[in-house]
Each structure stands twice: as C-alpha cells, then as structure tokens.
C-alpha cells in the first residue's frame, strides 16, 4: 500500500509540474479570437529576452503572418514592472568569454526577429507598459503600433556597457526629430510616460490600468484592418488625460541638443559641450565621460550611416558591430561594472576617445564574408 501511495504522490507531483511549466514558460504564445498574443514571461528578469524566447517568437510570428485566421499580433510583458528591459546580457557575456556560439546566435536571432517585426504584414501592436529598453525596444519599435503608458520608461543605455544601441537603433534613432536620436544614443538618457509618445517611439498613450480592456477590445474586433485597429487605439488614446498638459521634458534643451550633437566626430561633440559650458552641456559631458570611448565612436558612426540605410542594411551593419564588440574588451568590462559587481566604475580600454583610432572603427564595420547576417 505504501508503494502505491508513493506512486500516486509521484504522479500528482508530475501533473502539478506539467501544469506549472506551461505558466512558467518564458514566453507564452496563444491565439485568442483573431489575435496572436505574445507574452514575455520572465517578470523576475524584467522580461529580458534570451535566445530560447527569440527562437520561439520568430517562427510563431512567421506562422501567424501566413495564417488567414490571424488578423493582428499583440506583444506584452508580465509582472507590471517591465515590458522588456533588454536582452539577456549576462548570458552573452559568459558565452563570449569562453568563445561559445551563443554570442553569435543570440545577435543573429535577435536581429532576424527585429526584421520579422519590421516587415510583418499583419498589424503588430506592442503594449510597452513599464521598462522598455534595448532589446525591448527592438521587439516593439519596428511594429505598426506602440502603446505607451504613464509607467513606460524608454532608454537605449548600451554605451554604458561597452555596446552600442543595436536592435535597429541605427535605423530608428537617426530618424527621430533633429539630433534627438544621437543625444539619446550617446548619453543613454531615459524618457518616461508621455515623452515616449512625443519623440515618436510610441504611437499611442493609454492609462496602464486600461490595457486589459484595450486588449479585450482588440481581440473582439471582427476581421480587423489596420484602419480599424488604429481607430480603436485612437479612441483609447483620446480619452487618456494623464500628463496631457505637461511639456516635453527636453523641450527647453532641443536647440542645444540639435547644435551640440550635430558634430561629425565624438571629439568635436565633446569640444562643443565644453565650449557651451551651460549646466545642461556640463551634465551631458559628465555622462559621456563615463561611457566606453569605443562604444561612443561606434555609435556615432552607426547612426550617421544608418540614417540613409534600410532596416535590413542597418541590421547587417549592427551584426558586424556586435561581433566586433564580442572580440573586444569593453563589453565584458561594462557588464561586469554595471550588472555583476555593480561598482559602476568600468576601466575602459582604450580609456580616451583620442586613443580609439579611425582604423580600428573602420575594421568593426567590415563585412564578415560568409558569417554576415542573412535576412
């Protein structure tokens, strides 16, 4: 009898597990009505993307795109804190240190996913509630609709970890108003709430607590066209009065941003900031001085070149840059200082902008032959 009881316990345990694993999956992919719904489900990691999530989302988007019964795709995050705080940088660092393939596979998979979203034929709606940075921007900004809330925090903080604003940053950042994209990319400046709408990263602004209702209404739409979806989003957007009167946080600085960040080289930008001498300029100088000099140079060139490229060309260029960063020093040191030891004092090599040669930068942009990103 004892054996039978034990066996029953084992079976019950197993059943409990199988039910649990579904809900504890890192990404949930489900069909509700005519909508395909992607839920990023790593709340404790702020829904950061890892390779297995990317490898599940990509084919699902491709399948839904071909499916006549799927009319739109919705992506959202769980946990209430973040939509998606970025990519799983620690895992990439560990892999890169030992020359593991993950440091190639991750970027290749992520950029292919960004491209799938950018070329998706079905309306794609990202509910960017909470922290939306790096990789989280990559799985939202290239889609048709991005709904921000009062909880949204947007940033591309990669220059602080020896990387560059990838996931198509070279495409969308230089296309923001004036030199705003250059400023955001080089300083990692964070924008919140309605400001994310004002710069054009979001297309709509809705109260966080209204998102479940919005999602329900989106799912209930009968054979929704892009126009019908836009109408529904607009109706929610128009009703939202949070921070309606608030001025754009960078309004008073836009003139300075446009002139200071229009220089052709990082050294020139630094010189302009020093010459300007205003509190705003000095604050930006202080921030830039903390960033990886190599990252700053790669980023400025990435944005200048990306301004006239297609999304596909940008992603191919960024893949080359990602692999150059994997071979370098600063990415490993930056992640150590910011995410692992958290001492916030990375020792960059080279330590000064003047020591990052044009020749070195040129090499980072060189084609990789057979290893280039194929889209």
Per-residue pLDDT reduced to its tens digit, 277-318 = 999 999 999 999 999 999 999 999 999 999 999 999 999 999
Q: Report the distance separating Cα 58 and Cα 331, nearest Å.
A: 26
Model confidence at 223, pLDDT cuts 50, 70, 90, reads confident
Degrees (nearest 5) of the Cα angle 104, 55, 96?
25
pLDDT digits (tens, 9 = 90+) for 72-112: 999 999 999 999 999 999 999 999 999 999 999 999 999 99
- Residue 228 above 80 pLDDT? yes
Q: Provide the token pair at 143.
A: 């889609």
pLDDT digits (tens, 9 = 90+) for 115-163: 999 999 999 999 999 999 999 999 999 999 999 999 999 999 999 999 9
**Nearest alpha carbon to residue 217 among 68, 84, 34, 75:** 34
Record the pTM. 0.93
126 pairs with which residues across the strands?
Answer: 75, 146
- What is the reported pLDDT for 7? 67
| Domain boundaries along the sequence of the chain | 25-371
Number of H helices, E strands in the chain: 17, 10
Q: Provide the token pair at 11.
A: 């079976």
Gyration radius of the chain over CA positions:
22
Degrees (nearest 5) of the Cα angle 82, 84, 85?
85
Q: Report the distance separating Cα 344 and Cα 340, nearest Å.
A: 10
Mean pLDDT of 336-353: 97
Share of the chain above pLDDT 90, in %: 93
Q: Report the distance separating Cα 187 and Cα 184, nearest Å.
A: 6
* CATH T-level assignment (fold) for domain 25-371: 2-enoyl-CoA Hydratase; Chain A, domain 1 (3.90.226)
- What is the reported pLDDT for 189? 98
* Active-site annotation, residues: 87, 135, 158, 166
**Nearest alpha carbon to residue 212 among 58, 112, 311, 74:** 74
């Amino acid at each position: 009898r004892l054996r039978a009881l034990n066996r029953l316990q084992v079976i019950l345990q197993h059943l409990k597990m199988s039910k649990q694993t579904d809900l504890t999956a890192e990404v949930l992919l489900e069909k509700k009505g005519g909508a395909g719904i992607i839920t990023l489900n790593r709340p404790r990691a702020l829904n950061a993307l890892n390779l297995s999530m990317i490898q599940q989302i990509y084919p699902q988007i491709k399948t839904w795109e071909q499916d006549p019964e799927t009319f739109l795709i919705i992506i959202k995050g769980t946990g209430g804190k973040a939509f998606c705080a970025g990519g799983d940088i620690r895992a990439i660092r560990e892999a890169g240190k030992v020359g593991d393939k993950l440091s190639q596979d991750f970027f290749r998979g992520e950029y292919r996913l960004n491209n799938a979203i950018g070329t998706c034929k079905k309306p794609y709606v990202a509910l960017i509630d909470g922290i939306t940075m790096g990789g989280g921007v990559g799985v939202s900004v290239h889609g048709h609709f991005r709904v921000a809330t009062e909880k949204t925090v947007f940033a591309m903080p990669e220059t602080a970890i020896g990387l560059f604003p990838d996931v198509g940053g070279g495409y969308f950042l230089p296309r923001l108003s004036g030199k705003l994209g250059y400023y955001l990319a080089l300083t990692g400046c964070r924008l919140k709430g309605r400001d994310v709408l004002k710069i054009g990263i979001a297309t709509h602004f809705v109260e966080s607590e209204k998102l479940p209702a919005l999602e329900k209404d989106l799912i209930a739409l009968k054979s929704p066209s892009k126009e019908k979806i836009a109408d529904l989003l607009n109706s929610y957007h128009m009703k939202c009065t949070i921070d309606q009167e608030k001025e754009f946080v960078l309004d008073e600085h836009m003139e300075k941003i446009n002139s200071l960040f229009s220089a052709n080289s990082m050294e020139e930008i630094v010189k302009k900031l020093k010459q300007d001498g205003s509190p705003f300029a000095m604050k930006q100088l202080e921030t830039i001085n903390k960033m990886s000099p190599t990252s700053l140079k790669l980023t400025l060139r990435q944005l200048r070149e990306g301004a006239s490229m297609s999304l596909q060309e940008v992603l191919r260029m960024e893949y080359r840059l990602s692999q150059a960063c994997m071979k370098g020093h600063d990415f490993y040191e930056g992640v150590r200082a910011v995410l692992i030891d958290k001492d916030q004092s990375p020792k960059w090599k080279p330590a000064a902008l003047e020591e990052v040669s044009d020749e070195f930068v040129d090499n980072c942009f060189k084609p990789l032959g057979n290893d280039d990103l194929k889209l």
